[in-house]
Chains A and B, each alone.
Chain A
Amino acid sequence: MAEPIYTLKNVSYAYPGSISALHQINLEIAQGDRVAIIGANGTGKSTLLALLDALIFADTGTMHAWGKELTERGMNDALVQKDFRTKVGYVFQNPDIQLFCPTVKEDILFGPLQLGVPKEESIRRFEAVVEQMRIQHLVERSPYQLSIGEKKKVAIASVLIIEPDVLLLDEPTAGLDPQTTRDIIGVLYQAHKSGKTVVMASHDLHIVEEIADIVYVFGEQKTIIRSGKPEEILTDFAFLQSHNLIHTHVHRHLHTSHVHSH
């Protein structure tokens, strides 16, 4: 197994007002891993991604990234912060949060320019990433004029341009049409092929089995209740159903009906 990038030991986190968001999390993520975090709403998936992106810090337990402990004090160092932000990219669930500049072009270029990438190199990367995401026609538009799928693509482009080693994605395909979902799966597949580590929180079990090697299941106690290979977890319907990840209902087709899982 490759050297771990992230090591979390007994990590717990609570939001102000002692609202527990994560409880006693233990996990390791190695370079090149494709990790899917699944769980019902409110089980702490997004909180875990925010921790992995050092936007929030563990209340108890320890968290290491590339062998160094990830703490708020450590991240206050400008060089440490720059090094970390260059290595980790986070695609938020709501693209409106991520697209805050007046135009798509400025939004995509925001990351590399803040991280001190030279302007010529930033422009080279910009041209490459808009071609990869096929969003050339959107670059001069304002984010508010885009559809949800276009916004999502731009949000992913704004992270890919940083060329991070680790890609964190929060519900990358939620609410998207089938074609845009396929496009995004393709991009994630390419990212992994080029050696990136992909950590994704998702409800969409169809994409989980396509682009993950390891699955962590979060339960209502805000802790990891099971981990393993996708083929083991995603075929255990009783387990998935008991944790609100699939549901069974009756389908009616003309004169016949059958029970079906989603």
Chain B
Amino acid sequence: MCTTAPHTKTNGIVERTLQGIIFLLKETISNEEIASRKGLLQGCDPRLTCISIFLFLGCILLTKSILQLSFLYLACLILTSASAIHLGFFLKRTLLFIPLFSLFIVLPAIFNNVTPGDPVYAFKVFSFDLSITRQGIDSAAIFFMRVLTSVSFATLLVLTTRQHVLLKVLRIFRVPQLFVMTMGMTYRYIYLLLDIVQNTFVAIKSRVGYVTSTKTGRRIVGINMAGLWLKSYRLQTHVYSAMLSRGYTGEPQVLNSFHARPKDYLLLALSSTVFIGTLWLNQFTH
């Protein structure tokens, strides 16, 4: 007898999670595409780009002025455009989630019972007197702008620099080579393991169709987790053999092929000036 099982909840969760992971990884691949475009930041020496972005992030942390933060955000958007990234795509990517989430976190700070100050708007909730204060709005706006600008600069760095280059840049911050290489290998093999997971689920689906019950679904997921663990363990043994075979003795040697040109120093000069300017302006901000 052949029956068509309904699309159960468990199966849906598993499939949705897998699809989510695959979508996320595909987005990462599209980052590679953006990172290989001919834009301002893509053309700069990644070491200097990284230092410049860190200097901008330093400015964001130090500044107490909403105006300065707005200028920094504007600078970030200009750099984005100059790096051949569509602004709509960038805003969608940076405005959602973290800044929006931070806005919800900081919302209570605008009320007088969290931040006392000059009331801008007063109202009553269940006989409680509440008011929105100017000081509350200021501190919430600074917090929100700080998060938004920081996230935007960090996203800009990730979008315009290839993952493996970004990892290599960690070496200039004295991160051990072994750690950098392990991170690179993790990034490399995530795709392979993901392929195995995806193919396994397609194979299960082609043989048994939809999972008939939550219990069966859980069992299949459990078996797959164990299978994947064993496969990744075997893979790791073989990869180590392949490394030994080519002369690896424990301390990896890599070729660092970064070349800084005079124009690359312009970005560093700009970010340094902004950083020093922020420190100087901070003297006049209370």
Chain A positions within 8 Å of B, measured between CB atoms, are 50, 53, 55, 78, 81-82, 85-86, 89-90, 92, 94, 96-103, 106, 109-111, 113-116, 119, 122-123, 140, 142-145, 158-159, 162
Contact = CB atoms under 8 A, between A and B. Distances in A.
29 contacts: A53-B245, A55-B241, A55-B245, A78-B249, A82-B249, A85-B247, A89-B245, A90-B245, A92-B242, A96-B192, A97-B242, A98-B242, A100-B185, A100-B243, A102-B184, A102-B187, A102-B188, A106-B164, A110-B246, A111-B246, A113-B254, A114-B247, A114-B248, A114-B249, A115-B246, A119-B255, A143-B188, A144-B192, A162-B247
Nearest to B237: A97
A54 to B, nearest CB: 9
A14 to B, nearest CB: 17
B74 interface: no
Interface residues of B, number: 29
A102 B184 CA distance: 6
A85 B245 CA distance: 6
B246 A162 contact: yes
Contacts of B239: 97, 100
A117 B29 CA distance: 33
Contacts of A123: 255
- Dominant secondary structure of chain A at its interface with chain B: helix
Nearest to B241: A55
A191 B87 CA distance: 52
A109 B255 contact: yes
A96 B248 CA distance: 17
B192 A50 contact: no
B233 interface: no
A103 B164 contact: yes
A212 to B, nearest CB: 22
Contacts of B254: 106, 109, 113
Contacts of B167: 102
B5 interface: no
A116 B164 CA distance: 23
A176 to B, nearest CB: 19
A55 B244 contact: yes
Contacts of B187: 102
B136 to A, nearest CB: 47
Contacts of A92: 238, 241-242, 245
A100 B189 contact: yes
Contact of A144 (B191, B247, B253): B191
Interface in B60-106: none
Given A85-B246, A92-B242, A101 B184 contact: yes
Nearest to A159: B246
Contacts of A111: 246-247
Contact of B238 (A97, A103, A158): A97
Given A96-B192, A100-B189, A142-B32, A106 B249 contact: no
Nearest to B252: A114
B188 A101 contact: yes
Nearest to A75: B244
B241 A50 contact: yes
B163 interface: yes
A137 to B, nearest CB: 13
Given A106-B254, A162-B247, 11 more contacts: A81-B247, A85-B245, A92-B241, A96-B192, A97-B239, A101-B185, A113-B254, A113-B255, A114-B246, A142-B164, A162-B246
In order of increasing CB-CB distance, the 5 nearest A-B pairs are A102-B164, A114-B247, A111-B246, A144-B191, A115-B247
Contacts of B238: 92, 94, 97
B235 interface: yes
A89 B241 CA distance: 12
B188 A142 contact: yes
B251 to A, nearest CB: 9
B246 to A, nearest CB: 4
A55 B243 CA distance: 10
Contact of B188 (A85, A89, A100, A116): A100
A94 B192 CA distance: 12
Interface in B160-203: 163-164, 167, 184-185, 187-189, 191-192
